[in-house]
Chain A
């Protein structure tokens, strides 16, 4: 009897130990498309009037990086511009006099374990480090972040170039990253909808006209 009881308990223990707390299918989430945004809640976004954004975006991969332009890039930047225009911002082509500078980059498959403010500044081709005076950039808030980039990610940083700090650093007032795009599995419509969503879910932006 004692043996049977021990066997029963051992069998139960074996089954219990094989059960995991996390459901197996929960791992799949990281491969799904996701839109993260964060903005500086201390800033009134209606005070900005103009913005500058290049038609190209910065491309970063494991092997190389640089400015990149094709039809898909154009669909991304034009959709961003459309959303900015709807909120009353006027696009300008003078990066030195604009209120806001929008930096758009595409990270293909760089796998990093931790993303923290400014980790990608070291990549050649990203925003020229001395462009506005040499102080670099900073986030007045802790930005939206992720722990790894396993699929295509679009990063958008909105920099307040007319209000540098005393040490000439440029504050980033809004940042967004859209993960899972440009991998070949998503349509242009999905990409554009994701950009729309990034703007729509930012409560600090002015309402659409």
Chain B
């Protein structure tokens, strides 16, 4: 390490094209829309809500952004009933009780500050992201925010607006580098209008067959070009069928990895039959695919 890393976000991302190039360098192929959304989120310090079908690259976008900015990715996985204690911070009660007891038994006097100090504070993802000391803000990934409920959304809204949190025993902690918040949603329910208005919004679509093939080749290094292209086209055709869960980018990547492992060089009906479970996870979908004819799916 020669000199300390003091580049700011603006230095690393002067324009959208720079971000696209940076993402490309970490093997995330972003189209212009995705790059614009991430760029604005990073430069304007505004949260961005990314929606899209499952397996299309929403979480990966945040991960790759963190890699480009050379800053840690802090991930908060939302689920129903998640509350402040699990998301923001919690006091280590057992430890506090023990030290109180210990002090009592020794006859020592304990001050408030002794029991409410740093070593008793358990920082959860949101607090970790807020307290990140720099040189650049952390990327805070709030994954599947639609699985949390209305109460949590309201709390999140306030936090994102202020980028500060008040812990009664310690005081107000203001983020010196407000984190870049990336929220993802699977649209299982409609998010509150207030949250949606606070965020920038982007919808990631399935990639075209050609783009899909490029993504596969990046993510499965060493895969043959023909195989990647065939799988990408087959997956595109599968999506046109009436499936309960159309295969996304993640499934395509898994599929190619499985085929490579089995030493398949070119896709044919037999190879599909053996590895169909990598792409289609529902028995009914597999039946639909077989009825459509595995050979026609490859040849088109």
A and B: interacting chains: no
